[in-house]
Amino acid sequence: MSYSTANGPRLSQNDRSFGWLMTAPGLLALLLIVLFPLLFTVFTSAFDYTLLHRKYDTFVGFDNYLGAISDEYFSASLLVTVQFVVAVVILEFVIGFTVALMLNAVTRFKDVYYLILLLPLLINPVVVALIWRMFLHPELGIVNYLLSLVYIGPVNWLGDVRIAFWTVVLVDIWHQVSFMIILLLAGLSALPREPYEAARMEGASTIQAFIYVTLPLMRPVIAVTLLIRLIFAVKTFDLVFIMTRGGPGTSTDLISYYIYRSAFFGLNIGQASAISVLLLIIVLSLTAYLYRYMRSLT
């Protein structure tokens, strides 16, 4: 065996084979459960494969992709997804940062607040959607009942084309805002106190100190938090599946749900696979950007 410390450990051929042997089961499992479905999706997306015609005999190349892109329902779904992602990320960030700043100043019962905030995040999205579907029921829901006490409503939360989108956004905020709060709070509490105090000594007001010192120092944390939340928001499925089924109309037809619809209602597995691959490329490039950004910080 030979080890070189100057250029990192250099393993002998024997050790290297042993290393491969030990990692092989893990790699194989990864290959089977991650890489195979992925490649199979890419493969399927190149065929005219539907649930009525389950044969890989009609190779269509990029036709499924072109078909999807030229489909107006796809563009509508893409637009809804972009609106949804922008809305939830911005609103959750604003609310999350405000709450994180307030919590950062709290000294007593911090753990209790943490626990309360964490609760929604711990609930399965399907359960969240079910709970809110009940709460928001036009006749039987508690929300409309409470509103009726102050002579508001009844509101058709999930059935009105103009309201359903924002209802889903609000439920997503309820569910996911704690994620922002907790990440941003961790960032805030890790900030050095001295630059802030130095700014105060130099004559900065609380707001000036926040704008000129806290915000710039928080930039990396903010960027990472936004990107992570963005990636997850793009993939939102459960809320829409349970609460609105993409409707009314296509007002909440997020891209994940659109894929599901193409595959299991439209029965067009080939096209659904093509859109999945497109979604994967979008998420992958966001992830790559996040990874590069995080690397650039160190």
Interface positions, 83-142, toward another protein (CB under 8 A): 107
Judge whether 147 and 65 are in contact, CB under 8 Å.
no
| Least gap, CB of 254 to another protein (angstroms) | 37
| 199 binding another protein? (CB under 8 A) | yes
Size of the site for another protein (CB under 8 A): 19
Contacts 24+ apart (CB under 8 A), 127-136: 128/171, 128/174, 128/175, 128/238, 128/239, 129/171, 129/238, 129/239, 129/241, 129/242, 129/243, 130/242, 132/171, 132/174, 132/243, 133/158, 133/242, 133/243, 136/167, 136/243
Which of 60, 83, 135, 200 lies at the binding interface for another protein (CB under 8 A)?
200
Which of 140, 202, 249, 285 lies at the binding interface for another protein (CB under 8 A)?
202
| 219 binding another protein? (CB under 8 A) | yes
| 210 binding another protein? (CB under 8 A) | no
Which of 59, 203, 292, 298 lies at the binding interface for another protein (CB under 8 A)?
203
Pick the closer one to another protein by CB: 88 or 209: 209
Residue 100 and residue 91: Cα distance in Å, rounded? 14
| Least gap, CB of 194 to another protein (angstroms) | 3
Pick the closer one to another protein by CB: 220 or 248: 220
| Least gap, CB of 196 to another protein (angstroms) | 8
Residue 158 and residue 174: Cα distance in Å, rounded? 16
Encoding tokens for residue 38?
């992925």
| 267 binding another protein? (CB under 8 A) | no
Pick the closer one to another protein by CB: 82 or 202: 202
Pattern of binders to another protein over 154-193, x per CB under 8 A? --------------------------------------x-
Which of 217, 224, 226, 228 lies at the binding interface for another protein (CB under 8 A)?
217
HSE value, Cβ hemisphere, 13 Å, CA-based, for 53: 11
| Least gap, CB of 189 to another protein (angstroms) | 17
- Residues binding another protein (CB under 8 A): 107, 192, 194-195, 197-205, 208, 212-213, 216-217, 219
